[in-house]
Chain A
């Protein structure tokens, strides 16, 4: 059941109603049942898989906490091995065996790679990392092991954030599951606006931009540099709107139940550097990698070469997390490379500012940095979106060598007026996201009844008029469901 469906809205409304009608003791059970029902709508068998992963990390958490057999690290390692093993089996087996086959073929050895015909369980990367994070938190003593299996299972499977994040921390969620959430009108009000805002971003912006992106990236060689540049920028906004929409709707849904999920995006395309971008994009995953991989590797506390290596490892793993394909690995490595280059060029940069007497925080300088950063990020998105490294190479060749011409407006899948409207809405959305993040725009809107209902009207009209739905439309899954 997709968030952008009538079924989900009905499911959410029903569960919010039942939640507040039930006595407190029964609420977590209700949410757990609802979450497993929600997940089973994708595939009932994989709900059992999630339950297995939950049981393993629950047990390991208790064993780590009690230092069973005096071997805390053993149980931590068991938790990692079991869960990453499951993840590897479903997500990376075919990729790795394909790589091995190719490697052996290069060495002159014939090897038929075994291929498993398996559907990737929706959200496996998300709930696996969430559960592993819990195990590490217990190991470090940051949280106590959760003894209540219902509460723990709900932490792993909480439906608003189950299939596409945010990847929550045990320290943020577990205590909320223990607290009383009495009905407060403000929670419904404050949850509804992000729900509607996310729905608009997904159905109006992401799904319409997807038409252009899919048209061009299906056959990059058939399109000129203008088309490819436009489609790449369109993809940048498609993936942002798609993913941030899910997070908005997740946070809105959770808020209606009285829960607070972590912020996952903070105006990433206004970042002034790639490092800044990764502090604003998929914040829950970046911070997970920082806390559970980068810091344990040594982080920035070691010498520069080791620090750079740590960065590349983190981004390699991040690329792999996103998908079992060389394009994702290349994307991760490119982002790591950007940050490594930035670290290496830092002394030069400081010297330059000193010579030119420009202030780094001057609005013009920040503007230029934003544009430059957006360009770098878009170049990386080429790898993320391309169907193969070959296709990515085709795009890069066209972008860097031309010939440059205006896009072929008629061959992009959307009419020129539609493209124009999408462009305007992307700009408006970027500006509004900044106001939401920096100026509490949502709070101001929510405090004024007339303004709030005016905004509801505007968002619903945008969805009704410009939304990607109806006869002949192919419903677009959220992009991050594939991870």
Chain B
């Protein structure tokens, strides 16, 4: 008696438990990699600290409506402590955002601009130039890069500007932040999963403490290594070229400060600016126009507090509009109203309160 017809043996592979099946293993590996990728992505969103102020506020910058900024202010803390987008808007109607970072060097500013141009196309990039003299291995490099979106610009900047453990932590953020799991707050969870809100100060860091400045002086902490400066020049040139490609005007400036760049370095900088066909405005040389109160308008000897920042921003706005810049972007009027109101509220509160003297004359975060 013939048995029931059976398919040929080699078409009927029964993989019992424990038997090797390449197909099943490949599926298992792929599922494992996918699950791990999902886990790493989600956990990183939650575990990475959220930057709220002192620059590098990429999470909040990403909430800006696309192509809504007339001016992108870039550079170091001398940008995010000294330029108030709400004041600029109130005085000129120009929308702006301060996309800067603590002690940010020119190479990092270049990658910042590349990243920002993914969602914005400003008329002007206002670049604070003190970063030409920051050492490339300063302690804020990691802060500048950690909060950038995890994409090519961040990888390129990380490989270019960091090495060793710092690079490892930037490329694999879990390496740096996995141990924050027991310090997470509800805000970490909600912002990690749903993203941060738009910045009510548009990248500006509100400072209300006071350091009576006394007489002007020169900074003695700037990096004077010729190799570092040459690299900064190289990236300033790249910034210039990138702006030209994107049809963006690059306006360089130096924020007003009580401690300024020494004359020999200033001369070197002006030579660079001229060689690159750029122009720069040294606001420390326009103290009379600024009418700063040296007793009350400085946060420390290098940064302005809210009073000084407001005065400086108004002058900056006049200069920008004097060059023919006019509002050109469809902006969220409600958002900007809230920004103006927020700055006004904080200013009113600070004006009503007694002066808060800063404990140390040195800078807060960054330079």
Contact = CB atoms under 8 A, between A and B. Distances in A.
Do they bind each other? yes
Interface of A: 185-186, 189, 415, 417-418, 421, 446-450, 452-453, 456-457, 460-461, 464-467, 469-471
A470 B28 contact: no
A242 to B, nearest CB: 19
12 contacts: A415-B183, A449-B24, A449-B27, A450-B28, A452-B28, A464-B40, A466-B181, A469-B175, A470-B176, A471-B165, A471-B166, A471-B169
Contacts of B181: 465-466
B225 interface: no
Given A418-B182, A470-B174, A471-B165, 11 more contacts: A186-B20, A446-B18, A449-B25, A453-B28, A453-B32, A457-B39, A461-B36, A465-B178, A469-B175, A470-B169, A471-B175
B156 interface: no
A464 B174 CA distance: 7
B4 interface: no
Nearest to A453: B28
B20 A457 contact: no
- Residue in B21, B176, B181 whose Cβ sees the most chain A Cβ within 10 Å: B181
Report, as a range, how many residues of chain B touch the other chain.
20 to 34
Contacts of A421: 182
Nearest to B29: A453
Contacts of B27: 449
**Which 5 residue pairs are nearest across A and B when measured between Cβ atoms?**
A447-B18, A453-B28, A417-B182, A185-B20, A447-B17
Given A449-B28, A450-B28, A470-B169, A464 B178 contact: yes
Given A453-B28, A457-B32, A460-B36, A470 B175 contact: yes
B24 A470 contact: no
A296 B213 CA distance: 86
Q: Which of A456, A467, A470 has the most CB of B within 10 A?
A: A470
A447 B17 CA distance: 5
Given A446-B18, A470-B178, A461 B32 contact: no
Interface in B33-60: 35-36, 39-40, 43
Interface of B: 17-18, 20-21, 24-25, 27-29, 31-32, 35-36, 39-40, 43, 165-166, 169, 174-176, 178-179, 181-183
Contacts of A447: 17-18
Contacts of B17: 447-448
A377 B8 CA distance: 62
Given A447-B17, A450-B28, A467 B182 contact: no
A467 B29 CA distance: 22
Nearest to B25: A449
B162 to A, nearest CB: 12
A467 B18 contact: no
Contact of A453 (B18, B31, B178): B31
B209 to A, nearest CB: 30
Nearest to B166: A471
B24 to A, nearest CB: 5
A470 B179 contact: yes
Contacts of B174: 464-465, 470
A457 B176 contact: no
A456 B17 CA distance: 18
B35 A457 contact: yes
A452 B28 CA distance: 9
B116 to A, nearest CB: 27
Which one of A417, A418, A465 has the greatest number of beta carbons of chain B within 10 Å? A465
A453 B27 CA distance: 10
B271 to A, nearest CB: 40
A417, A447, A460, A464: which has the most chain B beta carbons within 10 Å?
A464
Contacts of B24: 449
A453 B33 CA distance: 10
A17 to B, nearest CB: 17
Contacts of B175: 469-471
Contacts of B179: 470
Most buried by B among A415, A421, A449, A457: A449
B182 A457 contact: no
Nearest to B18: A447
Given A453-B32, A461-B39, A470-B169, A186 B178 contact: no
